Structure 1
Amino acid sequence: MKNSSFLLLFFAALLVLIHTGCNEDSFSQVVEIDIPQHQPLTVLNGHFSTSDKTFSLLVSSSRGILDTAAFGLPKNAAVTLLKDGVPVTDFSWKEESFKYASTSFTGFGQTGALYRLEVSVPGMPPAYAEQTMPAPVEIQRAEVKPDGAISADGDRVDGLTVDIKDPAGVENYYAVQLLVRDTVVSPPDTFAYEYRVFLDTNDPLVSYAENQLLIFSDASFEGKTASLNFYSYDQLDRQKMVLRLYALTREGYLYLRSKEDYENANGNPFAEPVTVFSNVEGGYGIFMISAATEKIINP
């Protein structure tokens, strides 16, 4: 009798465990997290190059992680660019682009000059960022090889070989961009046009970046002449093109690299989160400058 009672109690307890164990709440736990209050700060995004005729800068404001409001685009910010401590140009709001803009000025691009961007948005702390202009690097050779390359998918495509002489004794960072640049004559008018060509590479040391840039450092060829190989599905030998080489700052390179990594990881549940590099004091974002050189291909 005792054994029967014990068995009944055992099976009853087992049924209770099975019932409660199959409950969803048994496999989850609710943890309340106190989200710290967010103080909005100025956000900047600007890349000024010696190849630019106009400088444009996006000015925005940061949001908290739970904030559902739209990003603010202040129209009354004070934006000034200084060179070696001396103001050289102010920026004004442009309604058509939702950015601040200024025309280029004489002397921009002086190697070694310190450029400081200062932005003051009413109601937020002032923000600034500094960059030292790198030296431009000459493109020694840019040669198109029709059907001279194999793509990552095994297709026969046009190749482009680029030679550059890397300055010794300093870390250098680069970006390459290929442009089609030509004119169309329709008397009495002549129209000039330019657009970017997508370049690819099989080089594992070269990374993709925004605006169809390919970026890399001189870590593998410091102080030497580097021969870089690219390819494109476009017919490179049938167009008037310009190869542009940007000498980047370290901060600019880190921003472009981290932003591409962020875009690749975004929405991937198996990827590690990526923080986009920022060099703005008193805010977030990027202010980067570059020295550009060009070489005409198929004149």
Structure 2
Amino acid sequence: MKKSFLWLPLAAAGALAGCESVVSVEPPAHTPRLALIYTLTNGVAQAGNWQFYGDARDLYVSTSQSVLATKNLTGRADATVELRDDAGQVVEQFRARNRNQYANDTVRGYYAPTRGYVGQPGQRYTLRASAPGVETVEAALALPALPVLGAGSFVPEAAAASPSQNQFGRLSFAVFDDAATANYYLAYARVLDASGQPWGRVFQDNSDRDDQVGPDVNLNRFDLSDPGTFYQTLPVSDAGRNGQRLVYSSKVRFFYSPPSGYGNYPNPPAPAFIEVLVSGIPADTYNYYQSVQRYYDTEQSIFAEPAPLRSNVPGGYGLFAGASDVVLRIPL
């Protein structure tokens, strides 16, 4: 039996003097289940050398634990995971790997594909995972059709004194939405040098936005996502504008990011292109990332509305996500 104590603010405690009580709470029963996250794509991002995703799209497998557990979550390296197509054929299998290729990594749970399979937009897939001591789980999705992009542009502000300093400008592009279906999208951007090598990341600058007052979750605003950061994965829905163009136009900034991530680079190469990647995502993927934003926005307040994370893994927890990627390259 565990006891829970609710401490009131000082003023309220004074008003309720003599009314303090201790309530005994029975911890809820918990059955450990598989928890995983994986994003199936059509391979465009991998072929385009989009390393800045980090581990965000990789397969990670763990086991759930009680809400009262205080130990850190630990992934497991003994899971068997396979991807099947709509005909039931195994098209991809995974092996456990270290998260850090340069050192022994204590964070288990990450897996690498062994066949190099890329998803086919419009096709259905099933992800099946099993591990000792827990029930086998399966999750399914249909990889969306490829987004259709219009022309893009970048209008710079005054040039920075050095390429390594923050550079600002307005980035614009459009998605031609399909009126026949409900659609959901994510957008990312990075900067390349003249040889097409990664130069730096692009960040949305909201200082000149006139819609900053109000809820953080804005279903009708097309935002640029920050790769590798779940809270800054910002999907957009075509709800209310189905079949219309979804236009992104916002002030952005970027600066030189050395490939190694550290060191002194006094003479960085000049930036040559902004590369925009737009992903068509399934409804379950959209709902999951919306729930992540709501969860973080509660800031762990006991007075906030409940913000449970969505899951599309029956019998377990997590997300089997999909992303049909299209790239647009804009000369600087």
TM-score normalized by the length of structure 1: 0.78
Q: Which residue of 2 aligns with 1:242?
A: 275
Match of 1:199 among 196, 199, 204: 204
Aligned partner of 2:103 in structure 1 is none
Residue type matched to 1:261 in 2?
R
- Whether contact under 8 Å (1:158, 1:234) holds in the other structure is no
Query: Which amino acid in 1 is paired with 2:170?
Result: G
What corresponds to 1:174 in structure 2?
Answer: 185
What corresponds to 2:143 in structure 1? 133
2:54 is equivalent to residue 32 of structure 1: no
Counterpart Cα distance in 1 of 2:62 and 2:91: 23
Which deviates more from structure 2 when the two are superposed, residues 90-99 or residues 286-295?
Answer: 90-99
Secondary structure of the residue that 2:308 maps to in structure 1? coil
d(CA) in 1 for partners of 2:326 and 2:115? 17
1:71 paired residue number: 73
Partner of 2:98: 95
Match of residue 105 from structure 2: none
Is 1:163 the counterpart of 2:174? The answer is yes
In 1, Cα distance between equivalents of 2:17 and 2:176: 64
Alignment-mate amino acid for residue 21 of structure 2: Q
> Is residue 261 of structure 1 aligned with residue 294 of structure 2?
yes
Q: Following TM superposition, by how much is the alpha carbon of 1:34 offset from its aligned partner in structure 2, in angstroms?
A: 1.4
Within the alignment, does 1:220 sit opposite 2:240 as a pair?
yes
Flag the structure with higher strand content: 1
Task: Map residues 147-162 of structure 1 onto 2, 5 A cutoff.
Answer: 147=157, 158-162=169-173
Measure how far apart 1:254 and its partner are: 0.9
Are the counterparts in 2 of residues 177 and 214 from structure 1 also a CA contact under 8 Å? no
Q: Counterpart of 1:133 in structure 2: which amino acid?
A: L
| Residue 116, structure 1, aligned to residue 129, structure 2 | no
Identity %: 26
Which protein is richer in helix relative to its size?
1
Measured in 2, the distance between the counterparts of 1:279 and 1:182 equals 39
| Matched-pair contact (CA < 8 Å) for 1:210–1:256 | no
- How many equivalent pairs are there? 265
Q: Is the 8 A contact 1:52 1:104 kept in 2?
A: no
Per-residue deviation, 1:194: 5.4
Report the TM-score when normalising by structure 2: 0.71
CA distance in 2, matches of 1:263, 1:210: 15
State the Cα RMSD in Å: 3.0
Take 1:238 and 1:100, find their aligned partners in 2: how far apart are those partners? 34
Do 1:144 and 1:159's aligned partners in 2 also have CA atoms closer than 8 Å? Answer: yes
Of the candidates 249, 252, 259, which is equivalent to residue 229 of structure 1? 249
Gaps of at least 5 residues in structure 1 are 1-20, 149-155, 185-190
